[in-house]
Amino acid sequence: MLSAQFEAVGAVFVGSPERRVGEPGDPAVYFRTEFEACPDLLGATLRITALGTVEPYLNGARVGDEILAPGWTSYRHRLLVRSHDLTATVRTGKNTFGAIVGDGWAVGRLGFEEITRSRIYADRPALLSLIELRYPDRTEYVASGERFRCGQGSVRANSLYDGVTIDSTLEPAGWNEPGFDDRTWHEAEPVDWDMTTLAEATAEPIRRVEELPPRKIWKSPAGTTVVDFGQNLPGWVRLHLDGPRGTSVSVRHAEVLVDGVPDYTTLRTAEATDRYVLAGNGPEEFEPRFTYHGFRYAEIDGLPGDLQPEDVRAVVVHSDMTRTGWLETSNDLLNRLHENVVWSMRGNFVGIPTDCPQRDERLGWTGDINAFAPTATYLYDVRGVLMSWLDDLALEQKDFGFVPYVVPDVQPGHDTPTALWSDVAVRLPWQLYWDYGDEEILRRCYDSMATFTRSVVPLLDPTGLWTTGFQFGDWLDPSTPMDRPGQSKADRYLVATAFFHQTACEMACAADVLDRADDVAYFTEVADRVRTGFRAEYVSSSGRVTGECATAYALAIRFGLLDAGQLSRAGARLADIVRRDGYRISTGFAGTPHVAHALTVTGHTEDAYRLLLQTRAPSFLDPVVRGATTIWERWDAILPDGTVNPSGMTSLNHYALGSVANWMHTVIGGVRATSPGYRTMRIAPRPGGGLTHARTAHDTVHGRVSVEWEHEDDTMTVRVTIPDATTAVVALPEHPDRAEHAVGAGRHVWTYTLTTALDLLTLDSPVERLAAHEEVLASVSGILRDHLPPHLDVEQLLRRSMALPLSVLLNELPGVTDHMRRELTVTIECNNTSSERPLLP
């Protein structure tokens, strides 16, 4: 065991007596010790962890490039240890090992509102380290213990939520180098901790992964300097400064401007403010540590002079995962939507999958990653981060007897199973197995998966329905009251029962992969019972679903709860509902990942495109046309007047509703695995929405699969690359013969002629042509009413202008903006997928 390696040489956790009764946010603890190394050293390795977050140093130089180490796990079960090779940096003779330990997740405050707590895991920061010095005839150790001394330095306060204060005038010069006089420092004292919790780190470290220059710098009315980095991101601001000793500079982070100034509503109680006191010895650099923020804007106060663009950078920080998925189309708004999804994922993979990076929360909510998992596995290699997180989930599930709503669990009292949140114990391992094809994923998670599924079975009523206990339902459906986000149109127990049917099906599939025949039979019987109960309670013989809302139909279609004869009727009804809602969003966390897929599988891809391309709120593109650079938590996070939704639960960087990107990958791009790990695939892009080309690529465990298609005049070209050791069936879009081709590894190209050239609807089309399409006219009229002065009679105006191109008419109207023109362009062009038209746009 890892613990035995530390215990064998007497390594113990050590802390400072000064922090014994300290408070979260107090100064970070500085540790140091000196040791000798002989000339015949063969190798040296540092093994290190902390209660808090640690920065190690050797002879004055930073060890490694990991930040916020050891990351956040369920510390009472697993505290991660990293190893660093010191061979090239250990000197013959005297050496000094040093470390700074901040509060981090172990000591700092976590949670939000009335459940915010501090020191959940430990009452003070503590260090555990072991340096192994290997010689030809022996091994020597430098272990953390009483020979370590500890003191304080420039890090005067540190908090993940509130930021850091660094006073460079208080930094003890040379504290982490040989010869420093540490007689005024204290002897470190042992800190009690269960050493059996030590575990090897397997997930990618959190690192600085990118830097962004400022897009704009200006002075606020209050005299502060405001910097716009053009992107909502996770990380911090780095400054180059030059000013008198004692000058204090503060940097406060914000996601949004309201009336041209930073607004901090989305932070709730998180201060998100870093402070720096200059040493005054010439040019110096300020870069925070032991914290991170979610922000696009920085408000800087106290600068000793004007800020120059070259003196400020946003440092992007997250788990250093490998990018594996890309998508680009001919529609710039869709491209920005996809980039927003990517950035929201980056902002919420800081050690664990979180809900948001900016406010006093940043918790591992199970429902968010459950909804987003199919998108996450396409965009990045998430095995390291998510398998580590699932290890914590299983341990806390075993400890508490239930799957917590957040992992690691810092919210006591949430102890009832709930659909889409708790069932992540089953659905996430299955998604990971499907994408990576590794049976070990299922073996490692199987006990947790089966335990959860079995725990729900006794909660079912005699007919197989899940109709008791708390449920989140279709969380944040846009129709929900601001203060009751779970009060959605879809019945919460319909949602729960539908999700549990899918969970039981996936559980049976997992059991089959692992040759557990008895479990296959048991979980199949459970799924059949739930399906029968669902159909009896919620579905008519003709295929109508109780509640008559998009989420109810989408789940029934996607989760296989309907007979083949009911499927067509249900799909048609879902399309009717989506049209009735004006192609505006009517779904929340439960329905949004599935509604576009449900439309496509029932033959209504054109309606799915119109849903995706709608720009009028609530919609996927409304935030995009309003300048969003990440996915919002709620559809109305920013109100029409530009102010922040005052609900108290408003983040501008949540990835859950970005789950629509999975439809973009599999339908616009056309890439879908038909066996685990993409060993076999179906390549079937479905062009629409006025798109003239699209390309996607995904790095599977076998190599890269890529798909490109482009349409020009009456010609379609499709290019597909298939990796080694895989095969694919390629369904050519809009081919006159509905051609499909079985192909192996390599690059394949098809070019063919469509039977009819298309006359596209555009902003330059005459109003008369637009009016021939009832849905187009309704959408155009609605946009004009939204934007033009209220005294204008829009319908009469259009009737009088039938011969004019709409673009010419707009030139004659007051109040027309570029935003309005873009909204009209997208709305009109997405109607080129109308079922009346036989071919592609």
What mean pLDDT is predicted for residues 334-362?
97
What type of residue sits at position 227? V
What mean pLDDT is predicted for residues 359-371?
97
What mean pLDDT is predicted for residues 331-337?
97
Residue 540 to residue 392: CA distance in whole angstroms: 42
Architecture of domain 673-753: Sandwich (2.60)
pLDDT tens column, 483-513 = 898 889 999 999 999 999 999 999 999 999 9
pLDDT tens column, 505-532 = 999 999 999 999 999 999 999 999 999 9
Q: How far apart are the first and last CA of the chain?
A: 62
* Strands of the sheet with 740-743, listed across from one edge: 671-673, 680-683, 727-731, 740-743
pLDDT tens column, 173-203 = 999 999 999 999 999 999 999 999 999 999 9
What type of residue sits at position 315? V
pLDDT tens column, 209-238 = 999 999 999 999 999 999 999 999 999 999
- 404, 374, 411: which is closest to 389 by C-alpha? 404
Q: State the CB neighbour count (10 A cutoff) for residue 838.
A: 10
Q: What is the DSSP string of 287-319?
A: ---S--EEEEEEEEE--SSPPPGGGEEEEEEEE
Q: What is the pLDDT of residue 789?
A: 84
- Tell me which DSSP letter residue 666 carries: I
Which parts of 99-237 fold into alpha helices (H)? 104-107
Highest mean pLDDT among 408-412, 480-484, 723-727: 723-727
**CB–CB of 524/551 below 8 Å?**
no
pLDDT tens column, 128-141 = 999 999 999 999 99
Q: State the CB neighbour count (10 A cutoff) for residue 122.
A: 22
- 76, 187, 181, 188: which is closest to 127 by C-alpha? 188
Q: What is the pLDDT of residue 834?
A: 39
361 is a catalytic site residue:
yes
Res. 400: pLDDT tops 80: yes
Res. 51: pLDDT tops 90: yes
pLDDT tens column, 622-640 = 999 999 999 999 999 999 9
* Total number of residues shown for the chain: 841
- How would residue 839 be classed by pLDDT, with cut points 50, 70 and 90? very low
What mean pLDDT is predicted for residues 804-822?
78
pLDDT tens column, 439-451 = 999 999 999 999 9
**CB–CB of 329/691 below 8 Å?**
yes
Q: Which residues of 420-436 are buried (b: 16+ CB within 10 A; e: fewer)?
A: bbbbbbbbbbbbbbbbb
- Catalytic residue, from 633, 734, 823, 829: name it: 633
Pairing of strands 273-277, 163-167: parallel
> Fold for domain 2-201?
Jelly Rolls (2.60.120)
Residue-averaged pLDDT of the chain: 93
pLDDT tens column, 58-115 = 999 999 999 999 999 999 999 999 999 999 999 999 999 999 999 999 999 998 876 7
In the chain, % helix, strand, coil (3-state, to 5) comes to 30, 25, 40
Pairing of strands 703-712, 693-700: antiparallel
Residue 785 to residue 781: CA distance in whole angstroms: 6
Q: What is the pLDDT of residue 21?
A: 60
Pairing of strands 53-58, 61-62: antiparallel
- Catalytic residue, from 328, 361, 396, 708: name it: 361
Architecture of domain 325-668: Alpha/alpha barrel (1.50)
pLDDT tens column, 6-42 = 999 999 999 999 876 667 778 999 999 999 999 999 9
Long-range contact set of residues 303-307: C-beta below 8 Å, sequence gap at least 24: 303/225, 303/241, 303/243, 303/249, 304/241, 304/242, 304/243, 304/244, 304/247, 304/249, 304/278, 305/242, 305/243, 306/225, 307/217, 307/225, 307/227, 307/239
Fold agreement (325-668, 673-753): no
User: Percent of the chain scored above 70 by pLDDT?
Assistant: 97
**CB–CB of 169/277 below 8 Å?**
yes
Residue 363 to residue 659: CA distance in whole angstroms: 19
506 is a catalytic site residue:
no
Sign for the pseudo-dihedral over CA of 222, 227, 233, 239: negative
Q: What is the pLDDT of residue 114?
A: 67
Residue 129 to residue 191: CA distance in whole angstroms: 13
Res. 840: pLDDT tops 70: no
Q: State the CB neighbour count (10 A cutoff) for residue 59.
A: 17
Residue 774 to residue 500: CA distance in whole angstroms: 40
CATH number for the domain formed by residue range(s) 207-319? 2.60.120.260
> HSE of 691 in the Cβ direction (CA atoms, 13 Å)?
28
pLDDT tens column, 707-752 = 999 999 889 999 999 999 999 999 999 998 888 999 999 999 999 9
Q: What is the pLDDT of residue 841?
A: 25
What mean pLDDT is predicted for residues 579-590?
96
Show the tokens assigned to 342.
Answer: 């990517």
Q: What is the pLDDT of residue 832?
A: 66
Q: Is 231 helix (H, G, I), strand (E, B) or coil?
A: strand
- Give 815 or 236, the one with higher predicted confidence: 236
Residue 59 to residue 667: CA distance in whole angstroms: 55
What type of residue sits at position 181? D
Q: How do the domains of the chain map onto residue ranges?
A: 2-201, 207-319, 325-668, 673-753, 767-833
User: Percent of the chain scored above 90 by pLDDT?
Assistant: 84
Res. 836: pLDDT tops 60: no
Show the tokens assigned to 505.
Answer: 């099906």
Beta bridge partners of 29: 101
**CB–CB of 146/189 below 8 Å?**
yes
**CB–CB of 438/381 below 8 Å?**
no
